[in-house]
Structure 1
Amino acid sequence: MWHYRSIVREAWHRTMAVANFLCGLHVTNTYLCTAALAYGPSMLPTFNLTGDLFLAERLSTRFDKVRPGDVVLVRSPENPRKLIVKRLLGMEGDSVTYAVDPKNSSRCNTVVVPKGHVWIEGDNIYASRDSRQFGPVPYGLLEGKAFCKILEAEAHVMTSGTFVL
């Protein structure tokens, strides 16, 4: 009987250590810093088409420390299950001039960013869905500010012609 007690005690201590680690990981990911993957053409040349892993800290958005020029992690206003990465170009009250349809015309439009909103755009204006299509984004949708690219994914061509990250 004594032998089983020590096994149960050891199992309990290890379970609690794993639970503490997971709680710490959750708090860190939710409130301090998170890793995210940026892929696709919208942020070329800042991020690779095939995907780059980066770190985004979450404190700047909570304490209103983001500024135009920052790369931000944003909850998509079109699909709330999706996070997008864009460059912040305007804060509330700023006038932003943007190309309406850069592929087909040189027509520009100017908007004033409303209170409590920001203006975001991809670095590649020819292939990005951003504030030019869905308008200013509520500040509350900002999830974090990118501060470090930690892995640059590169496509390698194999002999069969398939691409592998």
Structure 2
Amino acid sequence: MGVSNVKQWSRIVNEALDRAFFTAKFLCLLHVSNTYLCTVALAHGPSMLPTLNLSGDLILADRLSVRFGKVGPGDIVLVRSPQNPRKIITKRVVGMGGDRVTFSVDPKDSRRCETVVVPEGHVWIAGDNIYASTDSRNFGAVPYGLLQGKVFWRNRSHLKQKIGAKRSFKRVICFAGPLVQGSRKFFELMVENLQGGWFGSPSMHY
């Protein structure tokens, strides 16, 4: 009887350890995917109207494009705010290092304009809604190293719309989908973990 109980408890312990190891590997995969491949964010606010929704859009941002310098004027990016490093903002790239950028000092007065040359290693960012955006017009060009990712997909409630890239949702998940059974479940867990703050990534305010 004693030997039978030991074997039973041994099986239970082994099964628990197997599940614990699987869970740990899965969470590591989520962390690596979020940190180095692509990240999920919730963006809301007025500064990127009408491109992004005021009440909130779910967006995906590619981190590899930033690492390999595949970011240029016109791209929507996630940027660590130079005014508050704990905050991530969503803006559009207007100019890269060496570019000349002309901007309106006062959006209500189109005659007040200035032209600047973006320093090398920096980018000039702006919100699509210049009437309600804090951007490079306020704090100047930002170092390229503050870029966190390039947005390529967003979901506005029932509406799914790609931004910039022509890749489908299935191709978005291909980075880590094959490693986890059920790529849709993988995506859902990434969203849940983001909302729970597991990765320390706040919702995007722009």
Look up the equivalent residue of 2:38 and give its one-letter code.
C
2:59 to 54, 57, 79: 54
* SS of equivalent to 1:8: helix
Q: Deviations over 1:21-56 (max 9, x none)?
A: 000000000000011111111000000110111100
59, 84, 87: which one pairs with 2:89?
A: 84
Distance 2:99 2:59 in 1: 28
Instruction: Report the 3-state secondary structure (helix = DSSP H, G, I; strand = E; otherwise coil) of the residue aligned with 1:23.
Output: helix
- Give per-residue Cα distances to partners, 1:116-148, cap 9 Å, x unaligned: 100000000000000000000000000000001
Which of 38, 43, 48 is equivalent to 1:33?
38
Q: Which deviations, in whole Å up to 9, do the C-alpha atoms of 1:94-135 show, x marking residues without a partner?
A: 000000011355300000000110000000000000000000
1:141 & 1:122 partners in 2: Cα distance? 16
Paired residue for 1:73?
Answer: 78
Overall identity of the aligned pairs, in %: 66
RMSD: 1.3
Q: Which runs of 5+ in 1 are unaligned?
A: 155-165
Aligned match of 1:111: 116
TM-score by length of 2: 0.72
How many residues of Structure 1 are paired with residues of Structure 2 in the alignment?
154
Q: Does 1:18 align with 2:23?
A: yes
Normalising by structure 1, we get a TM-score of 0.90
Q: What stretches of structure 1 move > 2 A for 4+ residues in a row? A: 103-106, 150-154
Contact 1:100 1:108 in 2 (8 A): yes
The one-letter amino acid of 1:75's match is: R
- Describe the SS at the equivalent of 2:42: strand
Distance 2:93 2:130 in 1: 13
